[in-house]
Structure 1
Amino acid sequence: MSTTTAAAPADQPLTSRAVVLLTACSYLCVCLSFSYLDRRYGKFGFESLLWLVWTALGFGAALFYVGKNSRAADTHWKVQGTLGMLLALFPGFLMFNLLRWASLSLLIVLSARAVVMRTRRDFYMNLTVIFVVSLMVATYMTADWTVWFYLAPAWLFAGLALAWEHATGTAISRWAKGGLTVAFIGLSFLLAMLLFLLAPRPPTLGFGFLPPGTDTPNLVKQEAGSQGQGRGEGGDASSRGGRAPGTQAGAGADPWQQMFDRMRRDLQDRHMPDWQRQTLQRLTGWGEILAAALTGRLVPGSGVPATGSLEELLREAGEYCVEKIILPWWPFLLLFLLLLWLIFRLWPRRYGLGAAGLLQVADLLARWQPMLSMRLSALALNWCLRQQGHGRASGQSVREHLAGAASVPDLPRRWLGYAVDLYCETRFGSTAATRQRAANMHKAIHGASQILAGAMPELKRA
C-alpha cells in the first residue's frame, strides 16, 4: 500500500502546456550550447536553425498532445525517433567523439519523444537528460565562460518548469504565481553570485579544464601565508597567469581585474556571433563598474570611467536602456505591453471566445464543407463546456463529456444533446453530412452557448 502511494505522484498525468513550453525552451538552449562548442567551424547559425526546427517538430507537437492519450502521438514519436536515430548514426557518428555523440543522440531522441511526455515521470526524465548534456557541455575542453550565455537560461527554464509543474495542482492565483516566479529568479541569481564570489572553486571562469589548484579559494583578498610563495592575493605565477617570477606575494595584479581582462580576451573570439559579443561586452563593462563600487577602489580597464561608483553604473545602465532599447523599440514595447494586457484580461474567457470563433467559421463552412463544419461545432461544444468549468478527460467522447457536465441547465442541455445526436449520427452512423444538418447543429450549440454565457438569464433557469 505504501509503495503504491509513494509511486503515485510520479505517474500522475502531465496536463500543463506551460510546463511543456518551459521544458522546450530549456532543451533548445542546451542544444544551442552543444553546437556553440564547435563555433570555430562557422556553422553555428545553420546548426541553430536545425535545432530550432527539430525542437518545433517535437515539443511543438507535444503542446498539441498534452492531456491526450492519442495514437497519433505514438506514431509521431516512432517516425521522428527513427529519423533522428538515422541522423545520429550518419553523419552524427562521423562528426563527434563518443561522449559528444552520445549527448547528440540523447538530444535528438529527447525532442522526438516529447510527444509522448504524458506523466511526471516522463517530465523528470526529460529534465535529467537536459542536465546531463548541459554538464557535458560545461566540462568540455572547448568550453569557456561564454557558453553560459546559453546554459544559464537553460537551467533557469528548467527550474521554472519544475516550479510551474509543482504549482499546477494547487489553487494559486496568477498574481501569486507571477510573484513567486520573480522571487525564484531573484533568489537564484543572488545565490549564483554568492557562489561565484565566495565558494571555493578552481581559478578558471569556465569548467572546460581544471588547472592546478591554489591556496586562494575565491576572489576575496587574503593575507599572505607564512611561506609567502603561492599564497595571498595573487597566488603563484603559473596559476594566476599575470605575475612575473620573483614578485612578492600579495603584490600582484588585482584578481578582479585579471578576471575581467580574461573575459575580454575571450570575447575577441571571431567565431562568436556579433550580437552575443556585444551583449557580453556590455555586461562585462557593467561588471567592472560594479566591482569598483563594491570594493571601494578603482578597477581600471576598457570602458570603465576614471571614478567608478554605483551611481555611474546605474547612470550608464539607464542611458544604455534608453538609447539602445526604449527609443528604437518603443512602438514594439508598447505593442508587447498591450498584448500582455489583452492576454491577462482575455485569458479567463479564452474558451468562450474560442468557441464563438469556431462557431463563426463553422457557419461559413456549412454550405461547402458540412462535415468539417460539424467537427468545428463539436469542438466549440467542448470549449463551451470547458468555459463552464467542465474539463474533458482523456479518451472521453463528446457525449460522455456532456453527460459529465452536471451543472448545465435543462434547456441548454437538451439543445446540446440534440447537437451531439446530429454529430454522432453523421460521423459514426450512415447518415450523410448535409448543409441543413450542419446548420441545425450550429444553431443548437450557438443558442446553448449564449444561454450558458448569461445572454438570456431567464432561459438559463428554464
Structure 2
Amino acid sequence: MKPPTASPLTYFPAYAGLFASLVLAAACNSFLDIQYGTFGFEMLLWAVAFGLTLRLGWRAQGHVSDAGRQGQKMVLILGLIVTVIVFGPLWGFPRAGLAILATLQAAQNCVTVSRRQLHMGLLVSLIMVLFAASHYRADWTMLFYLVPYITAVVFTLVAEQINSRVQDVSRESLGAGSTRGQWAAIVAATTTILLGGALFYAITPQVTWYNLFWKYGQPGNIGSQGNAPGSGQTSSGQGGGGSAGGDQAEYRDQIMRRGGLTLQDMREAARRKGMPRWQSSAIDHLADLAESVEVALTPIRIGLDELWNDFKKWLDEHRQEIALSLLILIVLSLLVAAWRLLREARPGLWLFAHLDYLRLGILKHHAPGNRGAIQYYAAMQRLLDLHGLDRLPKVNTREYLARVYRTHAHLSREAKDLTQVFENARYGDEPVSPSELIQMRERYRRMFHNVDSIDTACG
C-alpha cells in the first residue's frame, strides 16, 4: 500500500456517476452503428469493463493498491490485443481511436483513487460524447443518451463537491462525519442545475440548419462517393464506403427536405434497424403524444388565428382613430412627465428665491423696522427650502434652527443671527433698528453665496 493521495476519493456516488457517464459516452458512440445490430453487445462489453475496473478503484479507498496496478496492466494488454484484432480492422481511424481512448480510461479506472483522476475520467467521457455528437450519423435520437449523460456528469460533480465539503467540515470540527442528508442534497442540487440549464437553453436562440445554410452555403456532394470520413476502410465491418457515402447523401437530402421534426420522422426512427425496443417504444409513445396534443390544439390554434385575423382587420378599419389615440396618449405622457419634472425642480420657488436676493440683497428694497426683519427671515426660509431644508408648519423657529445646525453647520452663525433678529421683531417690544437690518442683509447675502456648499452638504 502507498500513502493516501492528496485528495483521496472514497465516495461511492461519485464512482457510480463516473460509471454512468462513461457507459453513456460509450453508448453515444455505439449508437452511431446501431443499424448493424451490435449495440446491445457493445453496451454490455463496455458496462462490464467500466464496472469491474471502477470497482477496483473504489475498493482501494483512496490508496493505489497492488490489485489496482495489476488490473491496470491486464486491461492495457487486453485492450491492445482487442484494438489490433478487432477495433482497427472493424472501424478504422478515428473511430478506432475512440475505442483505444475508452480502453485507456478503463485501465485508468483501476487506479482512480483521487478527485483529480475523477475529473480526468469525466473529461475523457466528454471527448467521446463530442466525437459522437459531431458525427454525420448523429441525429435527434441520440438525445436518449445525451440527456442522461449530462445528468450523470452533473450528478457526479455535485456528489464530489458535497462530499468534499462534508469532509472539510468534519475535519474542522474534529468529528467523525455523517452521510445523512447527502443524497437529498445531491438530488436537489442536480435537479436545480439541470432545470436552470434547461431554462437558459430554452430562452437563448439556437443555431438552425437554415441559419447554417444561409451563412456557409448549401451542402455539396463531397463525401457522396467513397468512404465516409472517419469510417476507415469499412463501415463497422458491415458495409463498404459506398454505403457510407449513400448514408451521407440520404442524410443531406433529409436536411434539405424538411426544417423540423415531423411525426412521420419519429415513427420512421422508431422502426430503424437495430433500435432497442425500449427506445423504439418510447419514440412511438412520444409520437402518439405529440399527435394527440396536435389534434387537441388544432381547434384552439384555428380559433386564435381567426381572432388574430379579426384583430388585424379591425386595426385596418380604425387606423386613423388608433393613430389619433396614440398621439393623444403621447401628449398626455409628455404633460405628466413635464408636471413631475416641474414638481421636482420647483421653478416657482427658484424664481421667488432669486427675486428675494435681487430685491433684498442687491437693491436693498425692504420694508422698515420689524416688517423688514420678517422679510429677510422669510427669504432665508425660501432659500433653504429650495435646497432641501423646508420648514414644516408646526415647527417653531428654535426647532428649525436646530435642524439647520444638524444639516448645515457651516451656516449656523448666519441662521442664528437672522433667527434672533426675527424673534425680537416678532415677539419683542422694541422695533428693529436700521443697523440690524443691514446685518441681516449681510448674513442673508453670505448664505445665498454659499448655496453650493448647501447642496454639497445635502448630497
TM-score (norm 1): 0.48
TM-score (norm 2): 0.48
Higher relative contact order (CA 8 A, sep 6+): 2
Rg: which structure is higher?
Answer: 2
